[in-house]
Structure 1
């Protein structure tokens, strides 16, 4: 699995943990082992430009996902597709503000947003209440399981 991190900000983060989280989510979702993903961290002006351009919404947001080959999670009996999953764009300064409000670390918020972004790349959405419930429960399970296993040898 190829996961690149492009940090275009002054924010200092543990890129290896971000990659480990992304890899955990992709493996858990049975994405093809040769899939490609790019995680890009940008400042608020860059995120605002993307948010206006692609969503026609003002101001910066926390995360945006840009799927490429429209890969979907693997299923039993159906081999996963190979290809480029896409790009996830994260805004650390927006994530930091959200983390303060939620009472946890910015790094944990970025892990949450990475998980959220990957699920969007895999076709999950939260526009409808039932879809939101499914996506957020899956996101919660994936993140909690990753956080519980991080730091353990072999994990």
Structure 2
């Protein structure tokens, strides 16, 4: 049976348990839309502005806070080899880690005029898609990723 195993780290209680449960449900929904037959694992950490600024500086060389940083495990890896190992040993595909700053997400939701829930949902889905190998560097990839992202958000009830 395929599933999504998410480790959620909310040590500073930056989100309520209701918000964490909602994030889990949205990520489960997203997983079922893009990879219904796969078992996937990932982590999501909710951190302060100071913490995400440190992470952004350390790993991206940028001296500012941001809403989300994703660390995809499979970046540049041989997908055929990974899939063979997963099938042979029956292990879940570990796609990586999302680090999200709820305070910046809230600022963006206000700035863009659609509130926290829509922006939080966007951030979760967008990050999940990045961890799953989607990107928006070239126009064709962007069209595919953003189209899928918007469809998932709309179907989940998070329309703009």
Is this a same-fold pair by TM over 0.5?
Answer: yes
- Is residue 90–residue 110 contact of structure 1 (8 Å, CA) maintained in 2? no
Give the helix-richer structure, 1 or 2: 2
CA distance, structure 2, for counterparts of residue 47 and residue 142 of structure 1: 26
CA distance, structure 1, for counterparts of residue 143 and residue 65 of structure 2: 25
- Is residue 8–residue 43 contact of structure 1 (8 Å, CA) maintained in 2? no
* Equivalence for 2:136: 126
Unaligned runs of 5+ in 2: 80-86
Deviation larger for 108-117 or 127-136 = 127-136
CA distance, structure 1, for counterparts of residue 139 and residue 11 of structure 2: 35
What SS does structure 2 have at the residue aligned with 1:38?
Answer: strand
Match of 2:64 among 51, 59, 67: 59
4+ runs deviating over 6 angstroms: none
Match of 2:47 among 42, 63, 83: 42
What SS does structure 2 have at the residue aligned with 1:135?
Answer: helix
State the TM-score, normalizing by the size of structure 1. 0.80
- Is residue 36–residue 83 contact of structure 1 (8 Å, CA) maintained in 2? yes
- Given the alignment of the two structures, is residue 21 of structure 1 paired with residue 10 of structure 2, yes or no? no
State the TM-score, normalizing by the size of structure 2. 0.78
Number of aligned positions between the proteins: 142
Cα-Cα RMSD: 2.4
- Given the alignment of the two structures, is residue 116 of structure 1 paired with residue 126 of structure 2, yes or no? yes
CA distance, structure 1, for counterparts of residue 33 and residue 114 of structure 2: 24
Match of 2:95 among 85, 94, 99: 85
* Equivalence for 2:7: 4
* Equivalence for 2:148: 138
After superposition, what is the alpha-carbon deviation per residue over 1:9-37, rounded to whole angstroms, capped at 9, x for unaligned? 44333111100000011111115543112
